[in-house]
């Protein structure tokens, strides 16, 4: 079995840094009210080796530290760490193997995103914030068995049909989000819940009109290329 | 009347440790937004004697300390402590006497779980998180008089019909949850509220489809036997 | 004009202590999510003189201190303090003059209690927690002009019809609550919002059945006479 | 290009102070749950020069400091600061140029205000708190392209029709609020969300009755001229 000692100093340095990033970002899941108890996880892929850092399984958020994070290869085999990795590890690994630009994956059961997933409905693009972040609807993916790579497979399939969306609402389960790093995936998870809540509330007020695709494309283009610090 | 001085050092050491655990876990009721003012309580049964540690009655959460917790026997008689025990003490005691694997009990009035209880409806199993934690619906129990052991009796009766569920929604009252220790019962209370909220919201979006029982059983089996650190 | 220097040391000592209590309890309005910005206020009547201590008008909660609280007589005339008192002062004063057992008054615009007030509906007694705290429905009071004593008058009239309730939902305005001290009134405000939210959510699930009055009376009697530390 | 060094010491002193005010007020957006991740911004216009201080684009709230704020002129040209300014800068600038009494502007995507905006509905004036703060309904403005001054233009047009309202709900987008300083605009943003939530919830309970305009005017007049410390 491979261990971290088999890797060079550059990899070990990145592991150390990514353990801190991933541990820290789990606090954001609490800040944005995306998770209950231990249900939810963040991972980040390394740039220096085919490895990823992920949450340990079933550990309460207040007990997470950089050293309790688990390092696995991209088939979910543990390479470093004293804990068992998240039960969603195989799906995170599948996503990294099949979407080479993705370096961060997040899974939550956030309330309103999961409500849309339970109802089997896409969140319709009726807000500028959705044009920005998703470039269209937030799609629902199929129901799949948990703890195997079946979920990762379905996430990848669904995202191929919605290439601008960083989020999939897995039916009867909850959202999975991706990004160029773990922070971007956490951001997508937070925005997914926020717009799921907003549009859920809007539906109680009356019929909603989707934004025209041309406006959505303009929003998405500007947000992707201009917004933020460059 | 029996007092703690009648017990040996092993029991007194466990009392000391469980006072800390139970006091601390009340903070989790606040963290997960499960209680208002003083309405809700946690208890844990001891392994070294037929005793339990429970919240004092009507004391605000920010004033709870290990030493303000109350120790009673399994009929609710106070054995140690300067405060009166929770008015739900007799029901906690009844549950411990009749469910020998249970070492933790929690009662809250959390908003969405109590909403289902007020409407007299089971929470239907439409989420993987429900398969994991409850193995089926969260059942409603009957309306019973408070502050007697009648509630404990109804909780036990209801759980016999739903042996995989750690939660009962007492009609017109609120959830009671159980676990192998107080932490597991607090977790069940937090997850009960989370899924009650999610599925409440999903119902506003349209008709819901329950997961097939075979999928629920697979989820529950994996969650019980594989999830977490072993 | 009367000033605090005209009162004896016992009164001045009580003023000092009640300034601390009232200042501190405003933090609970934030803890329980009952107020926005500066909209809401707590007062407590003194036992040693016909005076009350109340929040200054329009000051943000994080800036409140014991010394910024305002002391007035029971007609709202300022007796001590550097700030203008709450615009609801005349209504607090009216309540203290007409309900001699009341020593605490709270007003908020908490979301779900105010929603029932906007719809002009009593909150129906469908929960044990309502039997405990209100002994029946939470009644709606009439719409009244703000900043005069008209609101206090309507609160007193409504409570005469519902003598067990510590809360009135003033129509198109928000809840007013009373208690034997300011802490009891804050508690009533917190529980009012909690059950208003819960029963609002329950109504979305289906028809609700009120508890029989005999059960409500039993709950209210036990809660008033047995619950808590004595 | 103009830089801050071209201005006198009085202007540089005001810039320093307003950087602190604006940085600090962004924390209030989090306190009152008005924003997700980086989506929302506060600005304040200076009194000593035609300049404004605004949030940098796409920076997380916990990383904001006085020195990361950006100073621009009233056409959005950067005059001081190391970061790119908010993508809404041109709209803030437009508002300051066309509404000379306005010295604070805030934009959020707060959930319930944005829900009304998505449904294209004014929030009806059914609460005293709305009479106080808005003097009538909270109006919906048209859908406009983001990141240009088109939004500022539409905000100004809408407010001309509703001169007492400090808020406009931009359709399919979210609320913009104004005030005599940034603090007043943040307050308007917080109250906008609070009443949007309350009246949304009230609508689920039944039909709502608007307050008579005479009562609204009385409330608004008192609130504007009497409420608070003078």
For chain C, say whether D225 makes contact (Cβ under 8 Å): no
* Residues B92, B45: Cα–Cα separation, whole Å: 9
Is D111's CB within 8 Å of A197's CB? yes
Q: What is the mean pLDDT of residues B197-208?
A: 97
CB nearest to C198's CB, from B59, B83, B111 = B111
Is B84's CB within 8 Å of C194's CB? no
Residues D169 and D141: beta-carbon distance below 8 Å:
yes
Q: Which two tokens stand for residue B210?
A: 């329950």
What pLDDT shows up at residue C55? 98
For chain A, say whether B228 makes contact (Cβ under 8 Å): yes
* Residues C180, C226: Cα–Cα separation, whole Å: 16
Q: What is the pLDDT of residues D10-54, one digit of tens each?
A: 999 999 999 999 999 999 999 999 999 999 999 999 999 999 999
**Closest-CA residue in chain B for C217?**
B145
What pLDDT shows up at residue C145? 87
What are the angstrom distances between the C-alpha of A118 and each of A134, B14, B113, B191, D197? 20, 44, 18, 16, 24
What pLDDT shows up at residue A227? 79
What pLDDT shows up at residue A14? 98
Rg of the Cα atoms in chain B: 17
Conformation bin of residue A169: beta by default, left when phi > 0, alpha when psi is -120 to 50: beta
- Mean pLDDT for all residues in chain A: 96
Q: Kindly report the backbone phi and psi dihedral angles of residue D103, in degrees, each rounded to the nearest multiple of 5, phi listed first.
A: -125, 5
For chain C, say whether B27 makes contact (Cβ under 8 Å): no
Is B128's CB within 8 Å of A84's CB? no
Q: How many CB atoms lie under 10 A from the CB of residue D67? A: 13
Is D205's CB within 8 Å of C147's CB? no
Q: How much is the pTM?
A: 0.97
**Closest-CA residue in chain C for B87?**
C227
Instruction: For residue C1, name the pLDDT band (cuts at 50, 70, 90).
Output: confident
Residue length of chain D: 230
Is A209's CB within 8 Å of D146's CB? no
Is D127's CB within 8 Å of C84's CB? no
Q: What is the pLDDT of residues D177-227, one digit of tens each?
A: 999 999 999 999 999 999 999 999 999 999 999 999 999 999 999 888 877
Nearest to A56 by CA among A29, A13, A25, A88: A88
What pLDDT shows up at residue B146? 84
What pLDDT shows up at residue B106? 98
For chain D, say whether A27 makes contact (Cβ under 8 Å): no
Q: How many CB atoms lie under 10 A from the CB of residue C97? A: 16
Helices (runs of H) and strands (runs of E) counted in chain A: 7, 8
Burial class (CB in 10 A: 0-12, 13-18, 19+), C151: buried
CB nearest to D83's CB, from A208, A209, A229 = A229
What number of C-beta contacts closer than 8 Å exist between A and D? 91
CB nearest to D114's CB, from A127, A187, A193 = A127
Is C121's CB within 8 Å of D205's CB? yes
**Closest-CA residue in chain D for A214?**
D145
For chain B, say whether A58 makes contact (Cβ under 8 Å): yes
Nearest to A145 by CA among B209, B131, B195: B131
Q: What is the pLDDT of residues D137-171, one digit of tens each?
A: 999 999 998 888 999 999 999 999 999 999 999 99
Q: What is the mean pLDDT of residues C172-188?
A: 98
For chain D, say whether C83 makes contact (Cβ under 8 Å): yes
Is C87's CB within 8 Å of D191's CB? no
Q: What is the pLDDT of residues A11-46, one digit of tens each?
A: 999 999 999 999 999 999 999 999 999 999 999 999
Q: How many CB atoms lie under 10 A from the CB of residue D1? A: 6
- Torsion angle, alpha carbons of A180, A182, A188, A192, to 10: 150
* Residues A211, D120: Cα–Cα separation, whole Å: 12
What pLDDT shows up at residue D1? 74
What pLDDT shows up at residue C4? 94
For chain D, say whether A215 makes contact (Cβ under 8 Å): yes
* Residues D32, D110: Cα–Cα separation, whole Å: 9
The distance of B120 to chain C (nearest Cα, Å) reads: 8
For B207-224, b/e burial (b = at least 16 CB within 10 A) is ebeebeeebbebbbebbe
What pLDDT shows up at residue B126? 97
**Closest-CA residue in chain D for C197?**
D201
Q: Kindly report the backbone phi and psi dihedral angles of residue B185, in degrees, each rounded to the nearest multiple of 5, phi listed first.
A: -70, -35
Residues B69 and B80: beta-carbon distance below 8 Å:
no
Q: What is the pLDDT of residues A133-191, one digit of tens each?
A: 999 999 999 999 888 899 999 999 999 999 999 999 999 999 999 999 999 999 999 99
For chain C, say whether D227 makes contact (Cβ under 8 Å): yes
What pLDDT shows up at residue A92? 98
* Kind plus residue range of the DSSP H or E element containing A184: helix A182-205
Which residues in chain B are closer than 8 Å to C194, comparing Cβ atoms? 36, 39, 109, 111
CB nearest to C172's CB, from D32, D127, D197 = D127
- Torsion angle, alpha carbons of D38, D41, D42, D43, to 10: 120
- C68 contact partners, CB below 8 Å, separation of at least 6: C23, C56, C59, C81, C82, C83
In eight-state DSSP terms, residue D137 is -
- C76 contact partners, CB below 8 Å, separation of at least 6: C85, C89, C90, C92, C93, C149
Q: What is the pLDDT of residues C82-124, one digit of tens each?
A: 999 999 999 999 999 999 999 999 999 999 999 999 999 999 9
* Residues D113, D130: Cα–Cα separation, whole Å: 13
Instruction: For residue A223, name the pLDDT band (cuts at 50, 70, 90).
Output: confident
Chain B interface disruption, residue of A63, A86, A118, A176, most B CBs within 10 A: A118
Q: What is the pLDDT of residues A88-105, one digit of tens each?
A: 999 999 999 999 999 999
Q: Which two tokens stand for residue C212?
A: 């029989």
Instruction: For residue D82, name the pLDDT band (cuts at 50, 70, 90).
Output: very high
Which residues in chain A are closer than 8 Å to B209, comparing Cβ atoms? 120, 172
For chain D, say whether C28 makes contact (Cβ under 8 Å): no
Is D37's CB within 8 Å of A190's CB? yes
Q: Which two tokens stand for residue D128?
A: 């005293």
Residues B84 and C229: beta-carbon distance below 8 Å:
yes
Q: How many CB atoms lie under 10 A from the CB of residue D153? A: 18
Is C187's CB within 8 Å of B37's CB? yes
Q: What is the mean pLDDT of residues C126-155?
A: 95
What pLDDT shows up at residue C228? 80
Is A119's CB within 8 Å of B205's CB? yes
* Residues D30, D10: Cα–Cα separation, whole Å: 32
Is pLDDT at B7 greater than 90 in this prediction? yes
Q: What is the mean pLDDT of residues B112-138?
A: 97
What pLDDT shows up at residue D229? 77
What number of C-beta contacts closer than 8 Å exist between A and B? 91
For chain A, say whether D118 makes contact (Cβ under 8 Å): yes
Is pLDDT at A229 greater than 80 in this prediction? no
List of chains touching B (3+ CB pairs within 8 A): A, C
For B21-59, b/e burial (b = at least 16 CB within 10 A) is bbbebbebbeebbbbbbbbbbbbbbbeebebbbbbbbbb
Is pLDDT at B200 greater than 80 in this prediction? yes
Rg of the Cα atoms in chain D: 17
* Residues B200, A19: Cα–Cα separation, whole Å: 37
The distance of D48 to chain C (nearest Cα, Å) reads: 27
Conformation bin of residue A206: beta by default, left when phi > 0, alpha when psi is -120 to 50: left
Beta bridge partners, B169, equal B140, B175
For chain C, say whether D1 makes contact (Cβ under 8 Å): no
Whole-number percent of chain B with pLDDT over 70: 100
Q: How many CB atoms lie under 10 A from the CB of residue D127? A: 29
């Amino acid at each position: 079995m491979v261990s971290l000692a088999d890797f060079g100093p550059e990899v070990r340095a990145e592991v150390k840094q990514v353990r801190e990033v991933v541990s820290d970002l789990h606090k954001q899941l609490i800040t944005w009210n995306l998770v209950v108890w231990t249900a939810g996880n963040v991972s980040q892929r390394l740039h220096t080796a085919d490895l990823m850092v992920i949450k340990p399984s079933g550990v309460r958020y207040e007990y997470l530290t950089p050293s309790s994070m688990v390092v696995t290869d991209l088939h979910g085999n543990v390479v470093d760490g004293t804990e068992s990795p998240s039960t969603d590890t195989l799906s995170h690994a599948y996503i990294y193997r099949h979407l080479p630009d993705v370096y961060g994956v997040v899974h939550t059961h956030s309330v309103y995103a999961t409500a849309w997933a339970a109802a089997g409905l896409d969140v319709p693009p009726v807000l500028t914030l959705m044009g920005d972040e998703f470039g269209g609807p937030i799609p629902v993916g199929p129901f799949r068995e948990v703890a195997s790579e079946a979920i990762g497979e379905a996430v990848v399939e669904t995202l191929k049909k919605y290439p601008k969306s960083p989020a999939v609402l897995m039916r009867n389960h909850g959202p999975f989000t991706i990004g160029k790093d773990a922070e971007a995936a956490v951001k997508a998870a937070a925005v997914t819940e926020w717009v799921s809540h907003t549009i859920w509330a809007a539906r109680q007020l009356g019929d909603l009109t989707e934004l025209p695709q041309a406006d959505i494309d303009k929003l998405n283009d500007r947000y992707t290329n201009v917004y933020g610090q460059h």
